[in-house]
Structure 1
Amino acid sequence: MDTIWSKESDAILKVGRSLKDVGVCNWALTKEETLMALDQLETEGIAILGGDVYEMQRENLQSNYDNWYCDRGENESKSAFVSRSIAKAREYVSNYKLNRDAEYYFAIVPKS
């Protein structure tokens, strides 16, 4: 697979399941994988622009249309944006209400 975001981001995110089959150039990660990836992306200084939620339905991942986003403030430094965007993503994923019967995955959109 070609580079999607950057070599650094792709190396972290490709632990997830490919979304190529649903026409999306990204990976979907479990909650635990997502939280670990956010730690690694923060260490690399990579901000998160947002993300999407996917559900496993009949052996296939499908978007459930839940998502979050984070824009950089007008006078916000890069490091402040990285910290704030990671914190927002971590909060969204950590607090996402999981239905016991559903299997959820998160696709992260890192800043390239």
Structure 2
Amino acid sequence: MKLTDKRFWIFEAFSVLSTALTVGLMELVDRFRLDSDVLPICIIMLTTYLIGHAVAWKSNRSCAWLKLGLTTYLFSAVALAVIFAIIFGIDWLAPTEVSDDVSADEYVGFSALDLTLVIILIWGIISFIPTMVTAFVASLCFRAKTTVATGMKLRSISLESIGVDGIAYTKSEALRIAEKYYNSNIPILGGDVYLFNNGNIKPTFDNWYCNRNNSETSYEYVARSYQVACDYIKKYPDNANIFFSIVKGHIDE
């Protein structure tokens, strides 16, 4: 996970949406209304979601919303448990003393700390829906940015979602791009193969490369690298879900 990855910060921003949805659901149920306690509870919720989103993003960068939502909920629950333990520790270290004037049959209400714990426990139940909704919306957002299409036919995909600054192309489009580089006297250093299925991009770890020989002229290297790229792409088994990235070089004059 890189701090320069815009998608990470976008996903972190979705923590605000998760918090708003959770508070909204709790407000819909009269028994769970937050009233004046909404600010500290919102801070706790937002902190929990921020931690959950960050860890989930690092462990799962695919656009599969179900997996993304479940991992976010899981890690948010772990963060919740840590916060719960801290609050419980504070309560244990600083117990509230009850006055001797209170009779045995007199009801002693919940303290602010007790109410906070109850609300956090309620969050653990209610937050499942906002977490899954947020993951679904984020997945749609990322998929929309992943696909670069012309008309109704998918021709290329952005690799940004898996931390790669580049674009992968279908077989026919990759051959067209390779020819464009050849006509522009640009050598092709190599390329990688990716599988794009149900909005998820996965590297196949298949690749090719073409290094320049010492005895080659610039034109010879451009021509040979173009031929190597075309041969590899053409011979690769046909699959509509296979995409090729191409790494271009430059000629030192």
Q: For this structure pair, what is the TM-score category when the shorter chain's length is used for normalisation?
A: 0.7 to 0.9
**Whole-Å Cα distance in 2 between the matches of residues 108 and 16 of structure 1?**
12
Match of 1:90 in 2: 230
**Whole-Å Cα distance in 1 between the matches of residues 247 and 212 of structure 2?**
14
**Whole-Å Cα distance in 1 between the matches of residues 156 and 188 of structure 2?**
17
Question: Which of 203, 207, 217 pairs up with 1:63?
Answer: 203
Match of 1:40 in 2: 180
Identity of aligned residues (%): 38
Match of 2:249 in 1: 111
Cα deviation, residue 50, structure 1:
0.4
More strand by share: 1
Cα deviation, residue 75, structure 1:
1.4
| Aligned-partner residue type, residue 47 of structure 1 | P
User: Which structure's relative contact order is higher, taking Cα pairs within 8 Å and 6+ residues apart?
Assistant: 1
Report how many aligned residue pairs link the two structures.
96
Residue 157 (structure 2) pairs with residue 17 (structure 1): yes
More helix by share: 2
Cα deviation, residue 56, structure 1:
1.2
Larger Rg: 2
| Aligned-partner residue type, residue 186 of structure 2 | I
**Whole-Å Cα distance in 1 between the matches of residues 156 and 215 of structure 2?**
34
**Whole-Å Cα distance in 2 between the matches of residues 24 and 47 of structure 1?**
21
Q: Which runs of 4+ in 1 moved over 4 A?
A: none
Residue 225 (structure 2) pairs with residue 81 (structure 1): no
| Aligned-partner residue type, residue 175 of structure 2 | L
Residue 142 (structure 2) pairs with residue 26 (structure 1): no
The one-character-per-residue Cα deviations of 1:37-87 (angstroms, maximum 9, x if unpaired) are 111110100000100000013311211000000000011111000000000
TM-score computed with the length of structure 1 as normaliser: 0.80
Structure 2 portions without partners, runs of 5+: 1-154
